[in-house]
Chains A and B, each alone.
Chain A
Amino acid sequence: MADIIEIRGLEKTYDDGFQALKGVDLTIREGEILALLGPNGAGKTTLISAVCGLVTPTGGTVTVGGHDILSDYRAARSLIGLVPQEITIEPFEKVIDTVRFSRGLFGRPRDESHIERVLRALSLWEKRNNRNKELSGGMKRRILIAKALAHEPRVLFLDEPTAGVDVTLRREMWDLVRRLRDEGVTIILTTHYIEEAEQMADRIGVIDRGRLLLVEETAGLMHKLGRKELVVEIAEPLAAVPPALAAHGLTLSDDGCRLIYTFDATAERTGMTRLMADIAEAGLHVRDLSTRQSSLEEVFLRLVDEGAQAMEAAQ
């Protein structure tokens, strides 16, 4: 896959002296869905804003489709559609006029069939002659998406598209994003829902405190960083982990019926055989065994933790 966006050493220090981006390097491939995952205040919106021209970077370079976003902003911005995090919309305008305006603003000639296609795809066609303020919150967000798609961008930025959106709408949003990707649109979305990144993205970039901690294929990330848990259900409840098993670092569930063993699934030796032997020796009766993959949420928390520790160590 060709690269469509190149971000090199991107920095942003706001006027109050706060450094929101501390040298971000990121290459985005044409046609992929990339999720930028990070807690509130990580710098996701700042990163998107810098690429789209809403914030002036204080360092580094960005090219979109090979065009520098500062010296060749016309060509660069023509390729981009942006759906901002906040719902900001002209209240008194009609839905269809709002979308037409966006197309014109981006210098594209009128194309009513394209406008209709976009509005239909977002289930807004029936509402096209309503005023924006008459629509629900979910619909308003879809108007913003329609506006961003009006000029047929090749790259779509979605800043927290499902924040505060109910489950059904979220599913619809995900379907829409996949359909757009199938049409060849590159999609960068930010989220602080792990599940969303996991479900949607081809690759995930983890961002925290202005730094991009890593960018990985979603499946690879899960595999590489995935810890597994072995849950051993025993017949008789225990008051504490037996001393004979102390070396395994087990935790006991509250009801005393399950021993939980955490291991690295990708390691050569998982220590499971040894554990099972020790359990048998301790005279415990095993009723059931199960393993489960740790969620991205846990993976993420660990990453952020390790990142912070690495930074402290470096200082």
Chain B
Amino acid sequence: MTGLNWTSILAIYRFEMARTFRTIGQSILSPVITTVLYFVVFGGAIGGRIESVEGIAYGSFIVPGLVMLTLLQQAINNAAFGIYFPKFIGTIYELLSAPINFLEIVIGYVGAAATKALGVAAIILVTATFFVELTVLHPLAMLAFLVLTAVSFSLLGFILGIWAGNFEQLTLVPLLVVTPLVFLGGAFYSIDMLPEGWAQVTYFNPVLYLISGFRWSFFGVADVAPWVSLLAIAGFLAACMGVIWWIFRTGWRIKP
């Protein structure tokens, strides 16, 4: 083993990015429209009655949650589809017969999925500035949270894509698991606003730590300490890498 084979990694990365750019319209249009709708409904209609949360205008308060929601969905969907598709049409044979290791495959696929998710997140942030005032107190921390989240949830999506046996499973899991976690993870409210018992339950939601940390990088206020958030994401990322390492070691769902 003499380090990573970057030619192979780049080949996968480019191939995946080319696939993204072929469908650039729908990949960007739909998240942007969804976000605008959220602003109209939550920021405009409801926000008019809520005024402010923890001293922040409600319209601005929901921006980090919205960005995270899209980032998670994009990362998971891109990565899941990216690896599911070759498995589904059979072109995965080439990956398996190539002189590459699991880390190189993962860097290629997950790198491309995360890049695309980050691109969409950036577009949404820019879109948001058309609706509300935005200041970022800790830009470096913001970037770190964005990148870590994009990568770790792309890893999760990669696992999902390998696990999925059909298109239903591929699309249902993000819908049934991820979206509720985001909504209940404080995307649109501070958990202080919840009744006593519910606030406790919410601490078991991993997405809470993402949104809280990310929001802190904007406004300096958080539900949990930012370093706890960072640790939680790093732990999640490591866990996903562990699972993927095991998948390639055993050939689970990819190699008879």
Given A74-B99, A106-B99, residue A89 in contact with residue B91 (CB < 8 A): yes
- A97–B5 CA distance with the chains assembled, in angstroms: 20
Q: Is the CB of A105 within 8 A of B11?
A: yes
Which of A90, A105, A107 is most buried by chain B, counting CB atoms within 10 A of its CB?
A105
Evaluate whether A104 and B7 lie within 8 angstroms (CB atoms) in the complex, with A75-B99, A92-B22 already known: yes
Of B5, B15, B22, B89, the contact of A107 (CB 8 Å cutoff): B5
Which residue, B10, B18, B86, B99, has most C-beta atoms of chain A within 10 A? B99
| Known contacts A14-B256, A97-B18, A107 near B90 by CB under 8 Å | no
Give the chain B neighbours of A55 by CB distance below 8 A: 255-256
CB pair B97 A86 closer than 8 Å: no
Chain B residues 88-119 with CB under 8 Å of chain A are 89-91, 93-101
Query: Contacts A91-B89, A108-B7 hold; do A102 and B256 have CB atoms under 8 A apart?
Result: no
Separation in Å of the A32 CB from the closest CB of chain B?
A: 21
* Contact in complex: B255, A54 (CB < 8 Å): yes
Whole-angstrom distance between the alpha carbons of A1 and B255 in the complex?
Answer: 34
Does A78 belong to the interface (CB within 8 Å)? yes
Structural contact, A102 and B8, CB atoms closer than 8 A: no
Q: Which B residues are CB-close (under 8 A) to A109?
A: 7
Q: How many A-B contacts if CB must be within 8 Å?
A: 79
Q: Any chain A CB within 8 A of the CB of B180? A: no
Asked whether, in the complex, the Cβ of B97 is within 8 Å of the Cβ of A104, the reply is: no
Residues of A within 8 A of B19 (CB): 92
Q: Would you call A147 an interface residue if the criterion is a C-beta within 8 Å of the partner chain's C-beta atoms? A: yes
CB-based nearest B residue for A46? B256
CB distance from A15 to the nearest CB of B (A): 7
Instruction: Identify which of A15, A77, A92, A147 contacts B99 (C-beta below 8 A).
Output: A77
Contacts of A108 in B (CB 8 A): 7
> What are the residues of chain B within 8 A of A74 when measuring CB–CB?
1, 5, 99-101
In this complex, the interface size class of chain B, counting residues with CB under 8 Å from chain A, is: 20 to 34
Chain B contacts of A97 at CB under 8 A? 15, 18
Q: Which residue of B lies closest to A20 (CB)?
A: B256
State whether B256 touches A104 (Cβ < 8 A): no
Across the interface, do B98 and A105 meet the contact criterion of CB distance under 8 Å?
yes
- Interchain CB contact (< 8 A) of A104 among B10, B22, B86: B10
CA distance A89 to B89 in the complex (A): 7
Q: Is B98's CB under 8 angstroms from A77's CB? A: yes
Does B97 lie within 8 Å of A56, measured CB to CB? no
Is B100 in contact with A56, judged by CB distance below 8 angstroms? Answer: no
Q: Are B99 and A101 in contact (CB under 8 A)?
A: no
Counting CB contacts under 8 A, is A88 at the interface? yes
Q: Is A54's CB under 8 angstroms from B98's CB?
A: no
Evaluate contact between B95 and A105: CB separation under 8 angstroms: yes
Interface string of B38-54 (1 = CB under 8 A from A): 00000000000000000
B1 contacts across to A, CB distance below 8 A:
74
**B220 sits at the interface (CB 8 A):** no
Asked whether, in the complex, the Cβ of A52 is within 8 Å of the Cβ of B97, the reply is: yes
Does A149 sit at the interface, judged by CB under 8 A? Answer: no
C-alpha spacing A88/B92, complex, angstroms? 9
Binary contact readout B14-28 vs A (1 if CB under 8 angstroms, 0 otherwise): 110011001000000
Query: Which residues of B are at the interface with A, using a C-beta cutoff of 8 A?
Result: 1, 5, 7-8, 10-12, 14-15, 18-19, 22, 86, 89-91, 93-101, 251, 255-256
Q: Please give 8 more A-B residue pairs, beta carbons under 8 A apart, in addition to A14-B256, A54-B97, A88-B91.
A: A53-B96, A88-B90, A90-B86, A103-B11, A105-B8, A105-B11, A105-B12, A147-B94
19 residue pairs A–B, Cβ–Cβ below 8 Å: A15-B256, A52-B96, A54-B96, A55-B256, A73-B99, A74-B1, A74-B99, A76-B99, A78-B99, A82-B97, A88-B89, A103-B11, A104-B7, A104-B10, A105-B94, A106-B8, A106-B98, A107-B7, A107-B98
* Chain A residues close to B by CB (< 8 Å): 14-15, 52-56, 73-78, 80, 82, 84, 86, 88-93, 97, 101-109, 147
